Amino acid sequence: MILETHGVSKNFGMLIALDSVDLQVKEGEIFGIAGPNGAGKSTLFNVIAGLYPPTSGKIVFDGHNITRLNSHQVCRKGIARTFQIPTTFQTLTVYQNIKVGATFGARRGDHIDDIIEFLNLAEHVNALATNLDLYTTKMVMLAAALATDCMLLMLDEPLAGLSIIEINDFLKVVRKINAESNITVIIIEHLLDMLVDISERMMILHNGGVIYTGEPDKISQDRKVIEVYLGEKERTHGT
Query: pLDDT tens digits for 163-186?
Result: 999 999 999 999 999 999 999 999
Residues of the chain where predicted confidence (pLDDT) is lower than 50: 234-239
Residue 139 and residue 168 in one domain: no
- H or E stretch at 156: strand 152-156
One domain, residues 216 and 99:
no
Q: Cβ of 72: how many Cβ atoms within 10 Å?
A: 12
Count how many domains the chain has. 2
Residue 108: predicted pLDDT: 54
Its sign, for the CA torsion 102, 48, 28, 209, is negative
For residues 141 and 70, state if they share a domain.
no
Q: Which amino acid is at 159?
A: L
Per-residue model confidence (pLDDT) at position 231: 64
* C-alpha–C-alpha distance, residues 23 and 185, integer Å: 14
Q: Are residues 228 and 176 in the same domain?
A: yes
Using one digit for the tens of pLDDT, what is the confidence trace for 83-105?
A: 988 889 999 999 999 999 988 77
Answer for the pair 101, 94: CB distance below 8 angstroms, yes or no.
no
Confidence (pLDDT) at 226: 86
Domain check: are 98 and 12 in the same one?
Answer: no
Give the model's pLDDT for residue 81.
Answer: 95
| Domain termination residue (choose one: 125, 150, 175) | 150
Whole-angstrom CA distances from 214 to 11, 53, 67, 225 are 26, 27, 25, 12
Q: What is the predicted pLDDT for the residue at 110? A: 66
Q: What is the mean pLDDT of the chain?
A: 92
The parent domain of residue 128 ranges over: 84-150
In angstroms, rounded to a whole number, what is the distance separating the alpha carbons of residues 169 and 187? 16
- Which tens digit of pLDDT belongs to each residue from 143-156? 999 999 999 999 99
| Calpha distance 27→3 (Å, rounded) | 8
Q: Which of 127, 150, 173 is the last residue of a domain?
A: 150
- Check residue 239 and give its pLDDT: 37
Residue 3: name the closest of 238, 203, 234 by CA.
203
pLDDT at 14 (0 to 100):
93
